Structure 1
């Protein structure tokens, strides 16, 4: 369509130029008006194409950003789940640490109570007895079923020691 209208405009220009002064000013203005309209149509068509390309580019960008957003959200969810798992595990470890600290403190209190020297004639452990106790501890066997056996063949339960603080008043 564009080629045919351009050729018809060119033919009219050729006819006008060949006739020379015979062309009236109205025909020249009409010809210029048609050229301008044709140029405006072409410019509008190019503008529509640019707008369509821009819209297509933006649509593709939206799709890409949505895909990236989905990836980021899944990574955040996975990281959050790992964080919650670690936090739960840390809570368990803190509770175990507190329990073991309390047990250690109780056992240390018992050892201190047994080894304190005071004016009432309470027996204290000597250095050789402490050495014997350390070597005695190195021969303990743990059977994994809640019972342990030391090197002298005495078995004892491997369960937590529960005692109140005033049970070993020193």
Structure 2
């Protein structure tokens, strides 16, 4: 079995865990509750009207999918949403493309081989503003690390894995503001 086959199996396994975890109204309610603040497992069980063993089973499934984290303080188990992984868990849905590039070419040239790229000059800097007709703000990671160079300035010198990301608005806080008389 090749390295690529192992990576595909890992991706498929994580994909199945994620969707299995999200395929339950109870687990979705747990995620929503934990998104508000961290909770003791017994509190979460009471909110969901579940026994602690049943709630623990649901929690284990959410942990397997990296959607929540458990912190243990003595005999107390406190749960919280895994914000980093919740947002990035859908990254497994992104297709993987292999591109041949000449040493010294820039990242934009490689991106254009697999996608329709629209650029625009913003404040004197050429920026990618749409990929395959999908407009937005884009960033990229090189081997899992965020890069601070534009795609035109990033020069390819070695084999590399680039993860192209569109910034999507994700609610971090919701305010209900009530005006006092």
Structures share a fold, TM > 0.5?
no
Interval of TM-score (by shorter of Structure 1 and Structure 2): under 0.3
TM-score computed with the length of structure 2 as normaliser: 0.19
Bigger Rg over Cα: 1
TM-score, normalised by the number of residues in structure 1: 0.20
Q: Which has the higher contact order (CA 8 A, sep 6+)?
A: 2
Structure with the higher strand share, 1 or 2: 2
Hey, which of these two has a bigger chunk of helix by percent? 1
